Amino acid sequence: MWQDISLQDVLIVSTLMFFSGVYGFLTRRNLITMLMSVELMLNAVNINFVAFNYFLHPENMQGMFFALFVVVIAAAEASVAIAIIIGIYRRFKSINIEDVSKMKF
């Protein structure tokens, strides 16, 4: 049954996931939620890597390895991001992105 799933189907899912992430990133005001949206986008890309690898070049493994890389780096990135968010919270007493707009002209 899962053999019936085509590349197209996977791509549709990942695209939906990606744009959910984009939507979340652009609309949510909470930094944590925005971070989560970023993770969603990353994972959508991961799905693409795996799917292309599986469907187009099954004899190679680069896609899989790359997805693994992304997972690992995403973990590191998430920790750094959360550290920054904590820093922001300490300074602004808020994690609302609209309050954090000191870096302008």
**Under 8 Å between Cβ of 36 and 76:** no
Q: Does residue number 85 form part of the binding site for other proteins (CB under 8 A)?
A: no
CB of 4 to other proteins, least distance (A): 28
- Which residue, 3 or 101, is less far from other proteins as judged by CB? 101
State the SS3 of the chain. CHHHCCHHHHHHHHHHHHHHHHHHHHHCCEHHHHHHHHHHHHHHHHHHHHHHHHHHCCCCCHHHHHHHHHHHHHHHHHHHHHHHHHHHHHHHCCCEHHHCCCCCC
CA distance 98 to 101: 6
- The single residue among 13, 25, 88, 94 that binds other proteins, judged by CB under 8 A, is 25
Which listed range, 9-17, 47-55, 64-72, 93-101, lies at the site for other proteins (CB under 8 A)?
Answer: 93-101
- The single residue among 10, 11, 13, 22 that binds other proteins, judged by CB under 8 A, is 22
Contact flags string 43-82 toward other proteins, x per CB under 8 A: ----------------------------------------
Residues in touch with other proteins (CB under 8 A) = 22, 25-27, 97-98, 100-105
